[in-house]
């Protein structure tokens, strides 16, 4: 694991690769979390996280789901569906507004859950989790535009 100074150098020089979870309940609601951290701090966003060095993508997806939502992805049926690769560009980074931008290449993953599904908060990445009606999320200025890119594909 890199210390903060080395990781800041990485963020400044290269894109990061991440996995996002687009959790749709009953075909009408999407699970969003209000982000505690930069970038996109304060916005409602789909859960997700970076892929670690030498970590297969499916293991990263399982780790993110378990750590952020307490969810065992392997137990889901149907399995998550790859939505495609997306690019997220931010003017700031995890360390603040230091003149270092962040560039993510993100693998979007769609997860369909039954209408009565409950997901527990299991991390410190979000101040709250909430199921949003998809049309309400699309119309809200509090939902980040990169999340809306996923919702447009539903």
Per-residue pLDDT tens for 59-118? Answer: 999 999 999 998 999 898 889 999 999 999 999 999 999 999 999 999 999 999 999 998
CB 89 within 8 A of CB 103: yes
pLDDT of residue 122: 61
Q: Name the residue with higher pLDDT: 153 or 78.
A: 153
- Match 């009408």 to its residue by tokens: 28
Q: Is residue 9 part of a domain?
A: no
Q: Is residue 86 part of a domain?
A: yes
| Distance in angstroms (rounded) separating the CA atoms of residues 95 and 97 | 7
Domain of residue 94 covers 15-142
Tell me what percent of the residues of the chain surpass a pLDDT of 90. 90
At residue 84's C-alpha, the angle toward residues 67 and 90, to 5°, is 70
Domain count, the chain: 1
CATH of residue 78's domain is 3.90.79.10
Q: Is residue 74 part of a domain?
A: yes
CA atoms within 13 A on the CB side of 72: 2
Question: Whole-model pTM?
Answer: 0.94
Q: Is residue 1 part of a domain?
A: no
3-state secondary structure labels for all residues of 118-154: CCCCCCCCEEEEEEEEHHHHHHCCCECHHHHHHHCCC
pLDDT of residue 123: 78
Average pLDDT of the chain is: 95
């Amino acid at each position: 694991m890199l210390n903060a100074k080395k990781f800041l150098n990485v963020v400044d020089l290269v894109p990061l690769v991440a996995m996002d979870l687009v959790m749709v309940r009953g075909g009408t609601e999407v699970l969003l979390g209000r982000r505690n951290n930069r970038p996109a701090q304060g916005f409602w966003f789909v859960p997700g996280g970076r892929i670690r060095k030498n970590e297969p993508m499916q293991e990263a997806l399982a780790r993110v789901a378990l750590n952020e939502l307490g969810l065992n992805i392997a137990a889901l049926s149907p399995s998550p569906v790859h939505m495609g690769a997306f690019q997220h560009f931010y003017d700031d980074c995890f360390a603040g507004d230091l003149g270092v931008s962040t560039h993510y290449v993100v693998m979007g993953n769609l997860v369909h859950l039954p209408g009565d599904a409950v997901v527990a908060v299991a991390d410190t990445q979000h101040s709250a989790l909430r199921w949003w009606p998809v049309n309400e999320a699309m119309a809200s200025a509090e939902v980040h535009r990169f999340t809306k890119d996923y919702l447009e594909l539903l």
